[in-house]
Structure 1
Amino acid sequence: MKTTFNLKVFIPSFIFMVIIGILGMIVPKKMKATLDIAQAFTFNHFSWFYILAVSLFLAFLIALVCSRLGDIRLGADDEDPEYPFFSWLAMLFAAGMGVGLMYFGVAEPLMHYASPITEDNIDKNAMLYTFFHWGIHPWAIYGIMALALAFFGYRYRLPLSLRSTFYPLFKEKINGTVGNVIDGFGLLATVFGIVTTLGFSAIQLNSGLHSLGIVDEVGFYPQMLIIIVVTSVAILSAISGVGKGVRRLSELNLLLALSLLLFILFYGPTVKLLGSFVENVGYYLSHVTEMSFKTFSYDTEHQAWFTGWTVLYWTWWASWAPFVGLFIARISRGRTIREFVIGVLIAPTVFSLLWFTIFGNSGLWVNEVNNGALSAFTSTPEILLFKFLGHFPFYQVSSIVALIILSMFFITSADSGIIVLNNIASGGSSRPSPRWQSILWGILLITMAIALLRTDGLGAVQAVTLIVALPFMVIMVGMCVSLIRGLRSDARYFDKKLNAASVFWSGDRWKQHLNQILHQTQASDMDNFFKKTVRPAFESLRQELVNKHQLQVIINEFTEPEMAMELVIEKGQWRNFLYGVKVQSSKVHDALADEDALPKLDKTEVHEPFTYFGDGRIGYDVQYMNKEELIADILKQYQRYLNLMHTEELALMMQAPIDGEISN
Structure 2
Amino acid sequence: MSLSQFMEKRTSFNPFVIGLTLFFILLLVAMILIAPEQTQSLLNQAKAGIFANFSWFYILAFSIFLGFLLTLSVSSLGNIKLGSDEEEPEFSFLSWLAMLFAAGMGVGLMFFGAAEPLTHYLSEITSGAPEHRQQEALLHTLFHWGIHAWAVYGTIALALAYFGFRYKLPLALRSCFYPLLKDRINGKMGDLIDIMALLATLFGIITTLGFGAAQLGAGLHQMGWVSENSFGLQVIVITVVMSLALFSAISGVGKGVKILSELNLTLAFLLLVFVLLTGPTLYLLSAFSDNIGNYLSNLVQLSFKTYVYEQEHTAWFSGWTVLYWAWWCSWAPFVGLFIARISKGRTIREFIFGVLVIPSVFGILWFTVFGNTAIWLNEGDAAGALGQMISSPETLLFKFLDYLPLPTVSGLVSLIVISLFFITSADSGIYVLNNIASRDKSLTSPNWQTVMWGLLMSMVAIVLMQSGGLANLQTMTLMVALPFAVLMLIMCFSLWKGLNADKKYFATKVNPTSIFWTGEKWKERLGQMMNQTQEKDILRFLKHTALPAMRELRQELIGKYNLSVEIHALLEQEEPAVELVIQKESLRDFMYGIKSVGREVSEQLINDENLPHIQHHTTYEPYTYFFDGRVGYDVQYMDQAELIADILKQYERYLSLLDDVGQELMAHEQTELAE
TM-score by length of 1: 0.97
Counterpart secondary structure, 2:568: strand
| 2:628 is aligned with 1:620 | no
The CA deviation string for residues 540-595 of structure 1, in whole angstroms up to 9 with x for no partner, is 22222222222222222323231112222223333322211111011221122221
Counterpart secondary structure, 2:69: helix
Matching of residues 264-275 of structure 1 within 5 Å? 264-275=275-286
Q: More deviation in 28-37 or 496-505?
A: 28-37
Q: 1:481 aligns with which of 476, 479, 493?
A: 493
Q: More deviation in 18-27 or 504-513?
A: 18-27
Cα contact 1:110–1:364 (8 A) shared by 2? yes
The CA deviation string for residues 325-346 of structure 1, in whole angstroms up to 9 with x for no partner, is 1111111111111111111111
Q: CA distance change for structure 1 residues 506 and 15 in 2, over 3 Å: closer, same or farther? A: same
Corresponding letter in the other structure for 2:587: W
| 2:124 is aligned with 1:124 | no
Cα contact 2:161–2:344 (8 A) shared by 1? yes
Residue 96 of structure 2: aligned partner: 88
Residue 529 of structure 2: aligned partner: 517
Matching of residues 461-480 of structure 1 within 5 Å? 461-480=473-492
Q: Within 2, Cα distance between the matches of 1:51 and 1:428?
A: 35
Q: More deviation in 20-29 or 176-185?
A: 20-29
Counterpart secondary structure, 1:548: helix
Matching of residues 264-413 of structure 1 within 5 Å? 264-370=275-381, 371-413=383-425
Shift of 1:23: 3.4
Matching of residues 206-225 of structure 1 within 5 Å? 206-225=217-236
Cα contact 2:82–2:344 (8 A) shared by 1? yes
Q: Within 2, Cα distance between the matches of 1:526 and 1:321?
A: 53
Q: Within 2, Cα distance between the matches of 1:175 and 1:47?
A: 33
Q: 1:50 aligns with which of 33, 46, 58?
A: 58
Q: Within 1, Cα distance between the matches of 2:481 and 2:472?
A: 14
Counterpart secondary structure, 2:622: strand
Q: 2:264 aligns with which of 240, 253, 260?
A: 253
The CA deviation string for residues 292-348 of structure 1, in whole angstroms up to 9 with x for no partner, is 111111111110000000000000000001100111111111111111111111111
Matching of residues 34-45 of structure 1 within 5 Å? 34-45=42-53
The CA deviation string for residues 33-84 of structure 1, in whole angstroms up to 9 with x for no partner, is 2211111111111111111111111111111111111111111111111111
Corresponding letter in the other structure for 1:48: W
Matching of residues 58-69 of structure 1 within 5 Å? 58-69=66-77
Shift of 1:651: 4.5
Residue 154 of structure 1: aligned partner: 165
The CA deviation string for residues 195-234 of structure 1, in whole angstroms up to 9 with x for no partner, is 0100110111111111111111112110110000001100
The CA deviation string for residues 333-368 of structure 1, in whole angstroms up to 9 with x for no partner, is 111111111111111111111111111111111112
Counterpart secondary structure, 1:655: helix
Q: 2:426 aligns with which of 406, 414, 417?
A: 414
Corresponding letter in the other structure for 1:288: L
Corresponding letter in the other structure for 2:456: L
Q: More deviation in 317-326 or 599-608?
A: 599-608
Q: Within 2, Cα distance between the matches of 1:30 and 1:411?
A: 34
| 2:40 is aligned with 1:28 | no
Q: More deviation in 635-644 or 303-312?
A: 635-644
Counterpart secondary structure, 2:486: helix
Cα contact 1:319–1:469 (8 A) shared by 2? yes
Q: 1:600 aligns with which of 610, 613, 618?
A: 613
Q: Within 2, Cα distance between the matches of 1:661 and 1:538?
A: 26
Cα contact 1:143–1:345 (8 A) shared by 2? yes
Counterpart secondary structure, 1:118: coil
Corresponding letter in the other structure for 1:112: H
Shift of 1:428: 5.4
Q: Within 1, Cα distance between the matches of 2:630 and 2:362?
A: 48
Corresponding letter in the other structure for 2:454: G
The alignment's C-alpha RMSD in Å is 1.5
Cα contact 2:531–2:613 (8 A) shared by 1? no
Shift of 1:660: 5.2
Q: Within 1, Cα distance between the matches of 2:397 and 2:565?
A: 86
Cα contact 1:71–1:338 (8 A) shared by 2? yes
Cα contact 2:81–2:345 (8 A) shared by 1? yes
Residue 246 of structure 2: aligned partner: 235
Unaligned runs of 5+ in 2: 1-5
Q: Within 1, Cα distance between the matches of 2:119 and 2:440?
A: 41
Residue 504 of structure 2: aligned partner: 492
Shift of 1:499: 1.5
Q: Within 1, Cα distance between the matches of 2:409 and 2:440?
A: 43
Shift of 1:661: 4.9
Cα contact 2:201–2:331 (8 A) shared by 1? yes
Q: 2:114 aligns with which of 106, 117, 135?
A: 106
Q: CA distance change for structure 1 residues 162 and 130 in 2, over 3 Å: closer, same or farther? A: same
Shift of 1:601: 2.4
Q: Within 2, Cα distance between the matches of 1:432 and 1:405?
A: 30
Shift of 1:90: 0.8
Residue 589 of structure 1: aligned partner: 602
Cα contact 2:62–2:152 (8 A) shared by 1? yes
Q: Within 2, Cα distance between the matches of 1:650 and 1:412?
A: 66
Q: CA distance change for structure 1 residues 511 and 276 in 2, over 3 Å: closer, same or farther? A: same
Q: Within 2, Cα distance between the matches of 1:257 and 1:576?
A: 74
| 2:21 is aligned with 1:13 | yes
Cα contact 1:9–1:183 (8 A) shared by 2? yes
Q: CA distance change for structure 1 residues 179 and 554 in 2, over 3 Å: closer, same or farther? A: same
Corresponding letter in the other structure for 1:532: H
Shift of 1:141: 0.6
Residue 559 of structure 2: aligned partner: 547
Shift of 1:640: 1.8
Cα contact 2:104–2:359 (8 A) shared by 1? no
Q: More deviation in 530-539 or 462-471?
A: 530-539
| 2:194 is aligned with 1:186 | no
Q: Within 2, Cα distance between the matches of 1:97 and 1:115?
A: 26
| Identity among equivalent pairs (%) | 55
Q: 1:653 aligns with which of 665, 669, 672?
A: 665
Counterpart secondary structure, 1:254: helix
Q: Within 2, Cα distance between the matches of 1:118 and 1:427?
A: 50
Counterpart secondary structure, 2:83: coil
Q: Within 1, Cα distance between the matches of 2:87 and 2:651?
A: 40
Residue 518 of structure 2: aligned partner: 506
Counterpart secondary structure, 1:236: helix
Residue 83 of structure 2: aligned partner: 75
Q: Within 2, Cα distance between the matches of 1:518 and 1:660?
A: 46
Corresponding letter in the other structure for 1:638: Y
Large movers: runs of 4+ above 6 Å:
none
Q: Within 2, Cα distance between the matches of 1:3 and 1:522?
A: 53
Cα contact 1:576–1:661 (8 A) shared by 2? no
Q: Within 1, Cα distance between the matches of 2:514 and 2:480?
A: 56
Residue 541 of structure 2: aligned partner: 529
Cα contact 2:12–2:440 (8 A) shared by 1? no
Q: 1:568 aligns with which of 564, 578, 581?
A: 581
Q: Within 2, Cα distance between the matches of 1:662 and 1:405?
A: 80
Shift of 1:599: 3.3
The CA deviation string for residues 76-115 of structure 1, in whole angstroms up to 9 with x for no partner, is 1111111111111111112154111111111100000011
Counterpart secondary structure, 2:374: helix
